Amino acid sequence: MSDTPEVSTVANRLSLRKLFIATVATLTGLALTWVVLTAKSEPQAGPPPDRPAPMVAVIEAVPSTHQLLVHTQGTIDAKRRVDLVAQVAGKVVEVSDAFADGGFFEKDDVLLTIERDDYEFALARAESALAQAEQRLAEERGRSRQARREWRELGSDEANDLFLRKPQLRAAELAVKAAQADVAAAELALDRTIIKAPFDGRVQQKRVDIGQFVGNGMPLAQIYALEALELRLPLSDAQLALLPEQLLTSSGGLVGSSSSVSVNIGGRAWQFPADIKRSEAELDRRSRVATVIAEFPGSPDLENGRPALTPGMFARAEIIGRPVDGVIELTNAALSPDGHVLIVNEESKLERRDVAVINREGRSVWVSGLVAGDLVVAQLNNTLFPGLRVATEVAVN
C-alpha cells in the first residue's frame, strides 16, 4: 500500500527543519570562533612577574670564645711493670691467694714464701761466730791492758806496739765487725725468703708455684703498679696547632695540660680526668706524629662501681687546647665542602662568603671570617645561589 500525499508532505517538512537547525548551529559556532580569535589581545612586552621568594632558615653570627678540644685515642699501659725476682734460692713452700694471674695485692703483702730452714741454720752459725769473736775481743782487750801495766812497771815511756798487743786487739775488733756483718747478711737472707709486694698492684703473669725450687735471680712473676697507668696519645701537626703555644715551647713538653679519658667497660663508658705528664723525645719515624703520655690511677673506683683499669684497654681522650676569640658557631650543613657559606644581605639576597674553619665537633663547626649580625643560611642545597632573593626565618636548634 503506497503512502498518501499528506504523509509525504509531512516527512519533507521534517527533513527541511532538521537541515535548517544544523545549518544555523554550524554558522553560530563559526561566528563564535571568529569572535574569540579576533578578540585576543596582542602580547605585551615587559619583565616577567615576580616569583615568591623561598623561605630559608638563618643563623645569626654571634662571635664568642671557643675552647679548642683535641680528640685522640690510644691504648692503656702500665707505667711501672717489673719482674718479681727471687734473691735467695730454695723451695717455694707457701703462696698467697693474690699470687695468681690477675690477682690484686697491696704494698708489703706477702705473696710467697721460700723454705727458711737453711737460712735459719746459717743465721745461728753466724750468731755463734759473732759470740766467739766478741769473746776473743774481750780477752785481747784484757791482755792489752795487762801489757800496758807491765810496761809502766819497767819504767820506760816508749812501748813496742807488739808488746802492747795493739795489732792483736785491732784484729779482734775487725773480727767482731766481720762476724756482725755475717749475722746481718744471714738475717737479710732469711728475710728474703718472704717475698713481699713492692707496691699496690696486680699480677700480670705468675711463673712459679708451690713446691717449685727457685734459684737466686729467677723471675717469680711479672707485676705492675695500679697507682699510675699511662695512655700514649698520638697527635698530628694539625692537632698540635690546637694546643697552647706555651705548652709546645716549654722545656717540660706538654706537662700541665689536662685531658678527659673515656674507657668503655662492659658496654658502659667511664670518664675520668688524666693529666698530661710528658711527651716522647722524638716523633714516630713512620707516621710522623708526636706522642704525649697521660697518667691516671688504675685502681677500681668502689664508690662509683668502676672496675680496675688494665693494660691493653682501648681509650679515647679529649685534650683541652687553647681558647680562640671571635669565632662563629655554625652547623655542618651551613658550610659547603669548598669552605664557603651563604649570607643574606640587606637587600634580602644571598651572598657568598669564604670562611676559615677553626674546629669541628660533632654537628658543629667554628669558623672565622664573619662579622657580628651576619645572617648565615643554616642549610645549603642546590636551589640556593648567590643573588637569589629569599625570605628568612630563625633556625631552630
Q: What is the pLDDT of residues 302-327, one digit of tens each?
A: 777 778 888 999 999 988 888 888 99
What is the model's pLDDT at position 351?
92
State the Rg of the chain over Cα. Answer: 50
pTM for the full predicted model: 0.65
What is the model's pLDDT at position 323?
85
What is the model's pLDDT at position 1?
45
- Contact predicate 354/340, CB 8 Å: yes
What is the model's pLDDT at position 182?
93
β-strand partners of 377: 58
User: In whole angstroms, what is the distance from residue 79 CA to residue 293 CA?
Assistant: 10
What is the model's pLDDT at position 260?
84
Cell of 158: 816508749
User: In whole angstroms, what is the distance from residue 118 CA to residue 216 CA?
Assistant: 14
In angstroms, the Cα distances linking 214 to 110, 207, 394 are 17, 10, 78
What is the model's pLDDT at position 153?
64
Q: Tell me the pairing of strands 229-235 and 258-265.
A: unpaired
Give pLDDT tens digits for 233-248.
998 888 887 877 655 5
Q: Tell me the pairing of strands 258-265 and 64-78.
A: unpaired
Residues 6+ apart with CB under 8 A from 43: none
Cell of 71: 680528640
Classify burial at 208, counting beta carbons within 10 Å of its beta carbon; exposed 0-12, middle 13-18, buried 19 or more.
buried
Ranges of residues in the chain whose predicted pLDDT is under 50: 1-2, 251, 253
- The alpha carbon of residue 311 and the mean position of all alpha carbons in its chain are separated, in whole angstroms, by 13
